[in-house]
Amino acid sequence: MLSARESKTSSPVAWNVAAEIVSPNPAELERAARLLRAGEVVAMPTETVYGLAAVVFNETALARVFAVKERPTFDPLICHVAVPEDASVGWLSYLAAQQLVDVERLADDARQAVERLTFAFWPGPLTLVLPKQPAVPDLATSGLPTVAIRAPRHPVAQALLRAVGLPLAAPSANRFGRISPTAAEHVMAELGDRIPLILDGGPCQIGIESTVLLVEPEGTLRLLRPGGVTQDEIEGATGQTLTTAEGLAGGTPLPSPGLMASHYAPRKPLELLPKPLGEFSDEELKALVVALPADVHVGVLLAQGDAMAAQARLLAAAEETGRATQFHVISLSPNGDATEAARGLFQSLRSLDARDDVTLLWAELCAGEGLAHAINDRLRKASGSRGT
């Protein structure tokens, strides 16, 4: 078991809390559920990233989530629900009975889209934004008339939801704007001095957050955040073409506040390579290396290919140009498999960011569609849209 004192978190506020990482056995799940019912926050694993959970109907607990994350309250939370015990109850009736969704405001086309989406993807990495009932506090939704809902697939998240018996609001368990956690130790490093308990569910299987999809009352589907379920999969399941968030009238500063341009930020500057490293000629590589300030050492995140070979080419380019630049290269997927790349993305970013001998990060964008789109979205935000 790790204690918060071993983590590197430093905070402007003295929280006087030391988190425990615990294995999610029945006793610890019950303890987590008790803490949550008492208005505390607890970190839980999901199949996408770790979440910082609080009972959605408890405003004091929600306020704690925002404080712990240092998250502005204009960025609304996702509400997580248990899978209904009675499989014959439709998801929409269930969400209505939980006092979450105002189904009356959805036209038949919208209801049918939700039925198809939940049938195809729940429990799983798809978040649906739907009209909310008044019982959902404005703090959870940043005053929007909608609530974001997802049924996570991770067995520990489901076990916790069942043990609490109430829906749980859970943003990613990182400090605002930082890299999302995909292991219990990452949560410890981010929030270990601010929360009491971290349920350890092992490394997250998907590694990238859920897709956020707005279901408009008349049935239009708008992709607000690419994620674990791809646009093609959604279009295949619904027979509908997705619309983007653009042109969405919201009355709020942003249609989906989490779509801010800079997010997922490492501490060190991250620059996007203009093309895959393997496509750089030796001359181009040398030009890239020569353009670096002398005291810079680079952590390189490849989307695919062989890390050792890339490192050797970069070191050769440095040597030939008389530079002492060091390179540390990680390949997200030697075979270029986007599923594998997504799973390792945040962990790899985090580990390069943590190295004392790395001062700058370079990242390659992922080729292709589907999950590559979600990975590139995160990398662009991590760079604050800086290119090399």
Which residues are near ligand TXA by CB under 6 A?
A: 46, 48-49, 51, 75-78, 125, 127, 129, 141, 144, 146-148, 150, 152, 170-172, 209-210, 212, 224-225, 256-258
Choice between 215 and 288, CB closer to ligand TXA: 215
DSSP code of residue 303: S
Q: Closest distance between Mg ion and the C-beta of residue 189, in Å?
A: 15
230, 369 in Cβ contact below 8 A? yes
Q: Closest distance between ligand TXA and the C-beta of residue 312, in Å?
A: 37
Choice between 125 and 137, CB closer to ligand TXA: 125
215, 110 in Cβ contact below 8 A? yes
207 interacts with, out of Mg ion, ligand TXA, none, CB within 5 to 8 A per kind: none
Choice between 238 and 376, CB closer to Mg ion: 376
363 interacts with, out of Mg ion, ligand TXA, none, CB within 5 to 8 A per kind: none
What is the edge-to-edge ordering of all strands in the sheet holding 197-199?
Answer: 20-22, 197-199, 42-44, 51-55, 168-169, 78-80, 146-150, 126-131, 211-215, 221-225, 243-244
Q: Closest distance between ligand TXA and the C-beta of residue 156, in Å?
A: 12
Q: Closest distance between Mg ion and the C-beta of residue 143, in Å?
A: 19
114 interacts with, out of ligand TXA, Mg ion, none, CB within 5 to 8 A per kind: none
Q: Closest distance between ligand TXA and the C-beta of residue 361, in Å?
A: 21
Whether omega before 84 lies within 30 degrees of 0, making that bond cis, reads no
Choice between 172 and 325, CB closer to Mg ion: 172
Q: Closest distance between Mg ion and the C-beta of residue 29, in Å?
A: 24
Helix ranges, the chain (H) = 26-37, 59-69, 91-97, 108-121, 138-141, 155-164, 184-191, 231-238, 282-290, 307-320, 338-354, 371-382
Choice between 199 and 329, CB closer to ligand TXA: 199
Query: CA-based Rg of the chain, rounded to a whole angstrom?
Result: 22
- Binding to Mg ion, residues 163-182 (CB under 5 A): 172
Choice between 34 and 267, CB closer to Mg ion: 267
Residue nearest to Mg ion (CB): 172
Query: What CA–CA distance (Å, rounded) separates 35 from 55?
Result: 10
Query: What CA–CA distance (Å, rounded) separates 127 from 120?
Result: 13
Choice between 364 and 377, CB closer to ligand TXA: 377
DSSP code of residue 172: B
Query: What CA–CA distance (Å, rounded) separates 312 from 297?
Result: 15
The CA–CA distances, whole Å, from 49 to 44, 170, 205, 265 equal: 9, 10, 8, 16
Q: Closest distance between Mg ion and the C-beta of residue 210, in Å?
A: 10
Residues of the shown chain interacting with Mg ion in the complex, contacts defined by CB under 5 A? 172
